[in-house]
Amino acid sequence: MNAGTVIVGAGSGGGALAARLTEDPAQRVTLVEAGPDFPRMEDVPEAVADAYEMSVEGQDWGLQAFFLEPPELREPQPYPRGRLVGGSSAVNAAIAQRASVEDFDAWLAGGNDEWSWERVLPYFSRLERDLDYGEEPYHGDAGPIPIMRHQRDEWAASGRAFERACLDRGHPPCPDHNEPGATGIGPIPRNQIGTVRASSLVTYLAEARERPNLTILSDTTCTRVLFEGTRAVGVEIECDGRRERLLADRVVLCAGAIHTPHLLMLSGIGPADVLSRFGIEIVVANEAVGQNLQDHPFAPVLTLLREPTQNVGVRAELKFTTAASGGLKDDMMMFPSVLDPATMNMKDVDTKGLKALTLVSLLAKPRSVGWLTLSSADPHVQPELHVNFLSDPSDIERLMESVRLAYELATTSPLREEIAEILFPDADTVAGDEELEAYILSVASTSYHASCTCRMGPAGDPGAVVSQRLAVHGTECLFVADASVFPNVPTGLTNLTAYMTGERLAEWLLNPAASAA
């Protein structure tokens, strides 16, 4: 039996796409997800439901990545990705921040005229139900994703002190970080329902799963795309150790920036020498598949709070431009985060029974890029991941500037009164250029924003994998709708932009003549 449209991956892009397509009763959609499904709210594990702590172990792929090059500089590090219906949207920090206007200016300059700010804004508005600014012309008030901001009395005292310190240093107040052109210090927009992380599992798919034209195949791994010539005709799937062929009218990969290029290579689309090395028949040779891996590296100032607090999570944000930005606007974000350090790749930290406050310096516009490649033709073996953080010297320089600011904030009023101890770095490390650079190289980690490994661009662009309408170059009936198609990692976090990408492809598949122009 033909499965209609097969979508591989039930994360942000895949969940949005499946939900929008099945609003049309004439569409038949099969959503394939390698991880488990939790169809009822009472079935959702606490770690998946909790909007205030990230969940990086229970429903994870267990990936390992080299963060620095050459690889021997640091042993492989965990690279968490959500493995369940909801994908990484079900395990993240529940931060709902859009990409910036400048991000889409860059996408547009790369030959993607469908992705100007004016054309993507209606889809950002369509996906959201902004509980604070829904009446504004650049927001939405009726979409599936609820977005809210905590009032100051709901912040930890350290968050309020952080805000005062930033204002004292001349950073402007920013009531809405999703307003076009927003910069400065203010409450962070969050996607949550009460205390529940509002992932695609509990938003887009909660209603869509009741439709008879949607089938969700959970605990089912897609091992490759099936082709007749260069036309995608279905997928091979595996469940309970058995493999079968699932025929389809079209296939959309929404498996994320790691697993989508992995699947393409396993299916015969990728660098010719890599495919030949592993005995994979070449369908389309494309050297760009798996290249251009981008992520937001962060470097922490880790402290312990004097007083206990129940107001955990990430509730405030500072967005600013570093002195070393080289013309990039708002290239740095800083978050006062009351989170378990282990969820941010800081293992075996003794918090001495106190709450940890991490001042997270997140490089919003990195210049370093990495790559991934096959390590085996076996779909169960993870690809070789080289994130290649901080290979561009300006990335280290800008993180050094921000870490020094974070340390200054932590050691001066009003924030120092909230802090019992700074665990790391120490004052000598912060003061010395060589020492601070070495510290950042030793601790820089992923913000879980892998993207750009199948980037969009015109057919003549040697670095492009998909067209701006997200069709895989050189194929028919094969599309991608996830963070892998981004030309550059967004200044804002990736989740809302991935939802928006699913929204856009849904409209194009339902109405090929559609445009937001």
451 burial level (CB within 10 Å; 0-12, 13-18, 19+)? buried
From CA 185, how far away is CA 152, in angstroms rounded?
12
Dihedral sign for Cα 105, 107, 110, 115, please.
Answer: negative
From CA 212, how far away is CA 209, in angstroms rounded?
8
What are the structure tokens assigned to 72, written together? 């021997």
Q: Choosing from 139, 150, 259, 449, which is the catalytic residue?
A: 449
Evaluate whether 234 touches 245 at the Cβ level (below 8 Å). Answer: yes
What are the structure tokens assigned to 373, written together? 């490649």
Dihedral sign for Cα 448, 198, 47, 501, please.
Answer: negative
Nearest to 498 by CA among 256, 179, 295, 263: 256
Q: Is 343 helix (H, G, I), strand (E, B) or coil?
A: helix
Evaluate whether 37 touches 62 at the Cβ level (below 8 Å). Answer: no
Interior CA angle at 125 toward 119 and 131, to 5°? Answer: 160
Nearest to 185 by CA among 165, 198, 196, 171: 171
Give one DSSP letter per residue of 432-445, joined into a string. Answer: -HHHHHHHHHHH-E
Distances (CA, A) of 346 to 163, 340, 437, 443, 448: 25, 9, 18, 8, 14
List the beta bridge partners of residue 253: 8, 480
What are the structure tokens assigned to 222, written together? 């897609």
Q: Is 449 a catalytic residue?
A: yes
CB atoms within 10 A of CB 42: 7
Helices then strands, counting H and E runs in the chain, come out as 12, 27
Is the bond preceding 393 in cis, omega lying within 30 degrees of 0?
no
- Which residue, chain included where needed, has tokens 């909007």? 51
Which amino acid is it at 53? E
CB atoms within 10 A of CB 330: 20
Which amino acid is it at 124? F
Q: Which residues are catalytic?
A: 449
